[in-house]
Structure 1
Amino acid sequence: MKDNIDNIFKNLENTFDVEEPKIGHFNRFEAKLNQPKNKSSKNKFKLYSIITVAASVVLLFGVWLGSSISNKGMELARVSTEMEETQSYFATTIKKELLLIEKERNSTTEQLINDGLKQLEILEQQYKLLTVELKESTEDKRIIYAMVSNFQQRIEILHSVLTQIDDVKQLKTQDNEKFI
């Protein structure tokens, strides 16, 4: 093996560059290092980075949009104009009732209101399942009736909570009158 290496060096004996670099080589090298970089290559890198980030954002948005569309159901309002009016009426009524209930929130009504809101949340989850079923079968009237019934149940719960709040208020007033 040593003979092999010796033969290689003998064959390359006068081909090595052993000359000293020209005077000022170090200064020229340092000047090249300190020169501003080529702006076009820097711009290409920035453009490539921006395109990559934009493509990633578009891809993520597409995935999110696709999953949200597939998981969402069909709202009652998309069935017909009458159902759109019905949904609008129920949604408006529910919002008004919720505002009234929130105005009545205090330490004595807190538990009562929270219980009512939990019942509403259960009905909301059931409604979401109904929207998915409606999307799959738009001709099934039973689903539409179930959705309307769901809205009616929500309003009944809100009315019940308001009635119970009024009862609590009356009990408080009666108790306070006894002590006067």
Structure 2
Amino acid sequence: MKDFDNITDLFEELKGSFDLKEPREGHRLRFKEKLDAQAGTPRGRFASSWWKPLSIAASIALLITASVFWLGPRNSEQQQLAAISPEASQTSYYFSNLVAQQVSELEKLGSPETRPLIDDAMKQLDQLEKDYAKLEQDLLNGGNSKFILGAMITNFQTRIDLLQDVMTTIEQINQFKNESNATNTI
């Protein structure tokens, strides 16, 4: 073939030599049979026998690696909080113990007359605990630490004040009940 400067010249030169006929009937079927026959050769069997197990093994290895990174051991929120602010962690521990003691005392003071009051206080404490968890998460996400730490302390103080108010009310109810019993028996 000669060198052609223009594609048009090339097509003009090759005009009439293109095969424009449609393939015979069953061409696709014959082509597929030839491909299937090649897959039966040792080279074809080797390729197909190793690719499936290798791809499955690679997928499993990928899943294991991904799960280690996503589900691997993470520091608890308390450990992360201690890393950000050791004082906040200590304060949280102190207040948590104080609240737990007061809840225990509150439960001891419970009676049929005071049970609705105690149940309501426990619901309020649960909500305050959820709010505290949100504040902790905000702190861990890098929020304004001074503001958030102040809000966390206020949350604990609110819990303690709530418990003290409920305990005072329960004591007043019990005192009133004892006074009315003493008056009725005389």
Question: Quick check: TM above 0.5?
Answer: yes
Instruction: Give the unaligned 5+ runs of structure 2.
Output: 1-60
Alignment of 1:40-59 (within 5 A): none
**Aligned partners of 2:81 and 2:140 also within 8 Å:** no
**Aligned partners of 1:79 and 1:138 also within 8 Å:** no
C-alpha distance in 2, partners of 1:125/1:104? 25
Deviations 1:135-154 (A, max 9, x none): 11165210111111111111
C-alpha distance in 2, partners of 1:64/1:157? 40
Aligned match of 1:91 in 89, 92, 96? 96
Aligned match of 2:127 in 114, 122, 128? 122
Shift of 1:85: 2.1
Aligned residues: 122
C-alpha distance in 1, partners of 2:88/2:138? 16
C-alpha distance in 2, partners of 1:123/1:176? 37
C-alpha distance in 2, partners of 1:144/1:160? 24
- In structure 2, relative to structure 1, the CA distance for the partners of 1:146 and 1:170 (3 Å cut) is same
Shift of 1:106: 1.7
* Percent identity (aligned): 34
More relative contact order, 1 or 2 (CA 8 Å, 6+ apart): 1
Is 1:165 matched up with 2:170?
yes
C-alpha distance in 1, partners of 2:132/2:68? 26
Partner secondary structure for residue 91 of structure 1: helix
**Aligned partners of 1:112 and 1:161 also within 8 Å:** yes
Aligned match of 2:114 in 104, 109, 115? 109
**Aligned partners of 1:74 and 1:132 also within 8 Å:** no
Instruction: Give the unaligned 5+ runs of structure 1.
Output: 1-54
The amino acid of 1:85's aligned partner reads: Q
- Calculate the aligned-residue CA RMSD, in Å: 3.1
Partner secondary structure for residue 86 of structure 1: helix
Shift of 1:83: 1.9
Alignment of 1:64-83 (within 5 A): 65=71, 76-83=81-88
Partner secondary structure for residue 121 of structure 1: helix
